Amino acid sequence: MADVIHAWHPDVPLVQEVLHAQFEHHAYPSHTHDSWTVLLVDQGTVTYDLDRHEHQTTNSTVTLLPPQVPHDGRSATPDVPFRKRVLYLEPEWLPLGTVEAAAETPMIFDPNVTTTVDQIHATLNDPADVLAAECGVLALRDLVQPHLKLPVDTAADKPLARRLRHLLDDRLEETFTIAEAAAQSGFHDQSHLTRHFRRTLGTTPGVFAA
């Protein structure tokens, strides 16, 4: 079976490109986009590494890949071709602060999100209904944002920094675990803290402390 690729650039605000494709054995090397990638796999299963963490798509579930974060892609079932539909949306479609949250949890298990993405693709078929497509993209943004928790900007949050300083001064002789430090700093959990720490300083908290 030959690979089938259909890509185009619709005249719809916030939409860079649309891709409908079916691949039998194709695998993507690690790469980045300057756009938000909204992926919907209609057939087969795709395994991919995002920010050095492996994930796997499921049918009818939307995957949201943030801009400028490396990822690859390959079929998890080599004997079954995978078919996908992709929206490439401008970086300003979502706030910059949601990039880290999307990299942490790229899968969105929300049937309303899936239905909206499906409807956007339907309106983008030639001839495209520009107004309906634009409304769909904006509606998708509103549906996606509650799934993405904004990370804490500790560098800009001076009140938070002061609270942490006081906390450390008051409990100088006590021992903190990394999981406790993460929670007190406003991160979701230890892994969230570790990823943010590594991106900022290029190493993990444990290695830095040693």
Count Cβ neighbours within 10 Å for each residue of 85-118 and write b for 16 or more, e otherwise: bbbbbebebbeeebbbbbbbebebeeeebbebbe
Question: 4-108: which CATH number, 2.60.40.1120, 3.90.1150.10, 2.60.120.10, 3.40.50.150?
Answer: 2.60.120.10
Mean pLDDT of the chain: 80
Q: Which amino acid is at 161?
A: A
Q: Mean per-residue pLDDT for 129-153?
A: 83
The tens digit of pLDDT for each residue in 166-198 reads 666 666 666 656 676 666 666 656 666 666 666
Q: Which residues contact 191 (CB under 8 A, 6 or more apart)?
A: none
Q: How far apart, in whole angstroms, are the C-alpha atoms of residue 86 and residue 70?
A: 17
Record the pTM: 0.68
Q: How far apart, in whole angstroms, are the C-alpha atoms of residue 192 and residue 151?
A: 9
The tens digit of pLDDT for each residue in 14-61 reads 999 999 988 877 777 888 899 999 999 888 888 888 987 888 887 778
Q: Where are the domains of the chain?
A: 4-108, 158-209
CATH 3.40.50.1820 assigned to 158-209: no
pLDDT attached to residue 108: 93
The tens digit of pLDDT for each residue in 95-105 reads 988 999 999 98
pLDDT attached to residue 16: 96
pLDDT attached to residue 59: 77
